């Protein structure tokens, strides 16, 4: 309830002061200090990834780490997908931004983050050969509670920015999965097994599919989504996440 009130207040602030930054609420005195509704500081912060990332699982790695066979987190592990691109680590302004998208009033910000993602990492995602963009679906109950699916909003803008096809209804979430608090990778994988289903008539044979989510924590959910797409005939499956924990 408190959060609802806070969101409502934020919404009113946006209406009264349209130049308030969608992430930090700083108000710009002129249009040049803003970029698509976000102040320059926040824009710089969310688009600058301060660390190198593993090309397979998008986890932060040390500056001289050899990631040719994966990083400490994913080496020898069956991730389910072939590569992963992130906007940045789950920290600071990007973390704030992602948290703000998790409410109905955050939809405008989710759109914005999708466009920003396409601008900042479009080259890397295009290089992965993404042909079809598929957001990770929310369970219908969660979507109803939140009012929208933030990954779908990000994916739609990302697809538009990349010039790739967008397929928001390709994957369906058929099972509610409790929070991923299991201690082992095997247990987490078991927790999400069978959580997704491909919609009937999906034609993805041989295509390179880009799965979009807001946050990747252990990668188990994205791995299960990727396996579902693979079972349906997808070729390569690449993951794009706003933030990697
Ligand atoms: Zn800001
Ligand atoms: Zn890795």
Q: What is the pLDDT of residues 125-172, one digit of tens each?
A: 999 999 999 999 999 888 998 899 999 999 999 999 999 999 999 999
CA of 127 to the centre of ligand 1 (A): 30
Residue in 211, 84, 214 with CA at minimum distance from that of residue 151: 214
Confidence of residue 183 (pLDDT cuts 50, 70, 90): confident
Of residues 106 and 160, which shows the higher confidence score? 160
CA distance 131 to 161: 12
Do the bridges between strand 209-216 and strand 132-135 make them parallel or antiparallel, or are there none, so unpaired?
parallel
230-55-153-227 Cα dihedral, nearest 10 degrees: 20
Residues whose CB is less than 8 angstroms from the CB of residue 12 and which lie 6 or more positions away in sequence, other chains included:
none
Q: What is the pLDDT of residue 11?
A: 63
Helix axes 92-101, 107-127, angle to 10 degrees: 120
- CA separation (Å) from 234 to 63, 130, 145, 210? 33, 11, 31, 10
Tokens matching residue 225: 């989504």
How many Å from the N-terminal Cα to the C-terminal Cα in the chain?
Answer: 27
Q: Mind listing the pLDDT tens digit for each residue in 41-58?
A: 999 999 999 999 999 999
- CA separation (Å) from 162 to 71, 149, 199, 234, 237? 28, 20, 24, 19, 16
CA of 75 to the centre of ligand 2 (A): 6
**Quick check: 105 pLDDT over 80?**
no
Q: What is the pLDDT of residue 168?
A: 96
CA of 46 to the centre of ligand 1 (A): 10
CB neighbours (10 Å) of residue 201?
A: 6
**Quick check: 30 pLDDT over 60?**
no
Of residues 105 and 110, which shows the higher confidence score? 110
Of residues 167 and 27, which shows the higher confidence score? 167
Ligand nearest to the CA of 56: 2
Q: Work out the mean pLDDT of the chain and round it to a whole number.
A: 90
Q: Which helix (H) or strand (E) holds 2?
A: helix 2-16
Ligand nearest to the CA of 97: 1
Q: What is the mean pLDDT of residues 22-27?
A: 88
Q: What is the pLDDT of residue 18?
A: 59
67-73-76-82 Cα dihedral, nearest 10 degrees: -70
Q: What is the pLDDT of residue 17?
A: 56
Q: What is the pLDDT of residue 2?
A: 53
The DSSP symbol for 68 reads B
CA of 45 to the centre of ligand 2 (A): 23
What's the whole-model pTM score?
0.90
Q: What is the mean pLDDT of residues 90-105?
A: 92
Q: What is the mean pLDDT of residues 18-22?
A: 78
Q: What is the pLDDT of residue 31?
A: 53
CA distance 70 to 55: 8
Instruction: Give me the architecture of the 51-244 domain, per CATH.
Output: 3-Layer(aba) Sandwich (3.40)
Confidence of residue 178 (pLDDT cuts 50, 70, 90): confident
Q: What is the pLDDT of residue 15?
A: 58
**Quick check: 212 pLDDT over 90?**
yes
CA of 121 to the centre of ligand 1 (A): 20
CA of 53 to the centre of ligand 2 (A): 8
Q: What is the pLDDT of residue 103?
A: 81
Ligand nearest to the CA of 83: 2
Q: Which string of b and e fits 46-82 if b means at least 16 CB within 10 Å?
A: bbebeeebbbbbbbbbeeeeebeebbebbeeeebbbb
Q: Which helix (H) or strand (E) holds 41?
A: helix 40-47
């Amino acid at each position: 309830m408190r959060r609802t009130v806070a969101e409502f207040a934020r919404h009113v602030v946006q209406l009264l002061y349209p130049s308030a930054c969608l992430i930090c609420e700083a108000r710009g005195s002129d249009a040049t200090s803003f970029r698509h509704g976000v102040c320059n500081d926040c824009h710089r912060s969310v688009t600058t990834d301060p660390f190198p990332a593993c090309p397979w699982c998008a986890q932060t790695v040390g500056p001289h780490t050899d990631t040719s066979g994966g990083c400490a987190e994913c080496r020898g592990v069956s991730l389910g997908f072939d590569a992963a691109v992130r906007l940045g680590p789950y920290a600071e302004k990007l973390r704030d931004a992602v948290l703000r998208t998790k409410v109905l009033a955050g939809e405008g910000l989710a759109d914005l983050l999708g466009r920003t993602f396409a601008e900042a990492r479009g080259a890397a995602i295009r290089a992965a050969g993404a042909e079809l963009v598929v957001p990770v679906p929310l369970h219908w109950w969660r979507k109803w509670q939140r009012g929208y699916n933030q990954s779908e909003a990000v994916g739609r803008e990302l697809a538009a920015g990349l010039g790739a096809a967008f397929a928001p209804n390709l994957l369906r979430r058929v099972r509610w999965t409790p929070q991923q608090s299991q201690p082992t990778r095997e247990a987490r994988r078991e927790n999400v097994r069978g959580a997704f289903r491909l919609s009937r008539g999906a034609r993805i044979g041989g295509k390179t599919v880009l799965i979009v989510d807001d946050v990747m924590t252990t990668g188990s959910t994205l791995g299960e989504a990727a396996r579902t797409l693979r079972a349906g005939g997808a070729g390569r499956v690449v993951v794009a996440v706003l933030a990697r924990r």
